[in-house]
Amino acid sequence: MATTIATLQKMKAEGKKITSLTAYDASFAKLFIECGIDFMLVGDSLGNVVQGRDSTIPVSVDDICYHTEAVRRGAPAGFVVADLPFMSYSQPEQAYQNAARLMQAGANMVKLEGGEWLEHTIQGLVTRGVPVCAHLGLLPQSVNVLGGYKVQAKEQAQADATLAQAQKLEQAGAQLLVLECIPASLGKRISEALSIPTIGIGAGADTDGQILVMHDMLGLNSDYLPKFTKDFLAGQGSLRNAIIAFRDEVQQGQFPAPEHSYR
């Protein structure tokens, strides 16, 4: 049965862990769906892992549209979230126009990074029929402001502010929330406080689901493997087995383990 927003909401309500991976082409999209991955993200991480850039900032709306179309062709019934890239949603009208392009390319939902400054934009998108995934914690598009890829909200005041922002984004209409590189305790607090599903990447084991960049999950970035990921291909013998191992470990609560999380 095809995944929908209602499916993800039901999984949260029933305590079933959600699995997600980034996807950029038709072949992997098809394989992910066959292996039971709940949804896919056409991430602006393609700038790093596909285009060989040192950040996500050069990625364009055209790039995301191209890869979204490819993923949709590979997984006609899959649930696909597409990133709105850097500075493509700085004003609400701009966000509406670019979100329309991504939805027409095949996305079921768009994702944008940031806190309460996006409330009006999220409200406008949802009103116009565009489902929204929000993103808090480490924001890769803001890496130059943050001064690098660092764990966020380690102090109590910052953690409280992140929780408050998550609640405001939910109230604005976001139906999914990605939490990246925050202490596991904060990932738990936010997940328990919200009625929408939370998807962690370096946010501990208590979020409602987990997402990884597919290249990290397969150990393809041999020069650097982030603390929050794991090489699932090692010892598995095939891509299919690696994807199933990721799915099973997330569903069974075995991944992420404490060594993949931040305090």
Q: For the chain, what is the mean pLDDT?
A: 96
Cβ-count burial of 98 within 10 angstroms (0-12 exposed, 13-18 middle, 19+ buried)?
buried
Please state the length of the chain: 263
Query: What range defines the domain where residue 155 resides?
Result: 5-260
Cα angle, residue 123 at apex, residues 176 and 107 outer, rounded to 5°: 50
Q: Which residue has the tokens 């390319």?
A: 105
Report the distance separating Cα 249 and Cα 243, nearest Å: 10
- Provide the Cα torsion 143, 148, 150, 155; round to 10°: -80
Alpha carbons 188 and 136: distance in angstroms, whole number: 14
Query: Is 179 strand, coil or helix?
Result: strand
Please tell me the distance from the alpha carbon of residue 223 to that of residue 52, in angstroms, as a whole number.
13
Both tokens of 202, joined, read: 């370096």
111 is in an annotated binding site: yes
Give strand ranges (E) for the chain.
18-22, 39-42, 80-83, 109-113, 132-137, 176-180, 198-201, 209-212
Query: What's the pLDDT score for residue 222?
Result: 62
How many domains are contained in the chain? 1
Residue 221: pLDDT over 80: no
pLDDT by residue (tens digit) across 80-134? 999 999 999 999 999 999 999 999 999 999 999 999 999 999 999 999 999 999 9
Tell me the pTM. Answer: 0.97
Residue 188, marked binder:
no
Percent of all residues in the chain with a pLDDT value above 70, rounded to a whole number: 99
pLDDT in the model for residue 143:
85
CB 217 within 8 A of CB 43: no
Residue 44 annotated as lining a ligand binding site: yes
248 annotated ligand binder: no
Q: CA of 95: how far to CAs of 23, 114, 118, 230, in Å?
A: 22, 13, 10, 34
Q: What is the largest CA-CA distance in the chain?
A: 49
pLDDT single digits (tens) 177-214: 999 999 999 999 999 999 999 999 999 999 999 999 99
pLDDT at residue number 144? 84
DSSP string, 207-218: SSEEEE-HHHHT
Which CATH number characterizes residue 44's domain?
A: 3.20.20.60
Which residues are designated catalytic? 180
